[in-house]
């Protein structure tokens, strides 16, 4: 499995992904799931992927290759909406190519998050389904998750709103990843994260957070200790001491 989260906020976009892939517990590997298509000053597109690794890698390879070969590609489409359509079509193409051949019982599907901005237009975020169709984040629902999304959802639901500052939103994404890392073995370090500030058209604010990253370690410790402290101070239920 995998866990990726992306947020579309007033100030810009936040992306965070783990890097573990697995085909059974004895076939675990590390692959980057956060991919950037950017031209400084003009466009920044970020793609995160979850699902069948052969499918997501093919989709990414085709999208990259076609930036050279095809007339219409991610580096020149006129809008984020058109970019999502292009990605969706490529997902359909790969799943039709690979998925229809054998009755193998393999799940060839994948989910993708596409966020970014093209000059002169607002920043946008899409969730692209295995069927190639997609939905867009709104002020009411400013984030999407793909992969092992449930463990890390409660903290986002509590903390995140459309006007959450970019740095706080990134902390929220990291805490959400921390909860998922602790409870699910199929999600693993290192993490790939990126912030995109609206209208910056700058894709350089990317980081890879490794297992021994002191800041992330400090964050996890502070969260863990704080939770235990908070838990110990919770008001008792009246019936708690009835027996």
What part of residues 134-163 is at the interface with its own copies (CB under 8 A)?
Answer: 148, 150-155, 157-159
Q: Which stretch binds its own copies (CB under 8 A): 20-28, 42-50, 118-126, 166-174?
A: 166-174
- CB of residue 119 to its own copies, shortest distance in Å: 19
- For the segment 169-198, give every residue that binds its own copies (CB under 8 A): 170-172, 174-175, 179-180, 182-184, 195, 197
Binding status of residue 167 toward its own copies by CB under 8 A = yes
Say whether residue 237 binds its own copies (CB under 8 A). Answer: yes
Interatomic CA distance for residues 80 and 117, integer angstroms: 7
- Calpha distance 161→61 (Å, rounded): 34
> For its own copies, how many residues bind (rule: CB under 8 A)?
49
Query: Which phi-psi region, left, alpha or beta, contains residue 182 (left: φ > 0; alpha: ψ -120 to 50)?
Result: alpha
Kindly write out the interface string for residues 201-230 of this chain, putting x where it contacts its own copies by CB under 8 A and - elsewhere: ----x-x-------xx-xx--xxx-xxx-x
Closer to its own copies by Cβ: residue 51 or 178 = 178
Contact residues: its own copies, CB under 8 A: 148, 150-155, 157-159, 167-168, 170-172, 174-175, 179-180, 182-184, 195, 197, 205, 207, 215-216, 218-219, 222-224, 226-228, 230-231, 233-243
């Amino acid at each position: 499995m995998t866990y990726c989260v992306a947020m579309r906020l007033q100030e810009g976009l936040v992306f965070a992904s783990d890097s573990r892939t697995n085909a059974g517990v004895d076939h675990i590997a590390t692959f980057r799931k956060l991919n950037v298509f950017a031209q400084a000053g003009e466009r920044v597109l970020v793609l995160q992927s979850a699902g069948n690794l052969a499918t997501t890698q093919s989709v990414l390879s085709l999208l990259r290759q076609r930036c050279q070969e095809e007339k219409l590609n991610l580096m020149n489409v006129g809008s984020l909406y058109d970019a999502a359509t292009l990605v969706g079509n490529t997902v359909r193409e790969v799943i039709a190519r690979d998925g229809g051949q054998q009755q193998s019982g393999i799940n060839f599907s994948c989910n993708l998050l596409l966020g970014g901005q093209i000059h002169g237009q607002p920043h946008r975020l899409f969730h692209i389904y295995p069927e190639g169709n997609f939905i867009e984040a709104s002020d009411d629902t400013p984030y999407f998750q793909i992969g092992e999304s449930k463990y890390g959802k409660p903290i986002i639901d509590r903390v995140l709103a459309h006007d959450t500052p970019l740095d706080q939103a990134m902390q929220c994404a990291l805490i959400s990843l921390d909860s998922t890392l602790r409870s699910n073995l199929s999600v693993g370090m290192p993490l790939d994260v990126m912030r995109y500030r609206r209208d910056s058209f700058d894709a350089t604010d990317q980081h890879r957070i490794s297992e021994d990253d002191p800041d992330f370690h400090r964050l996890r410790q502070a969260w863990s200790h704080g939770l235990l402290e908070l838990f110990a101070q919770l008001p008792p239920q009246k019936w708690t001491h009835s027996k």
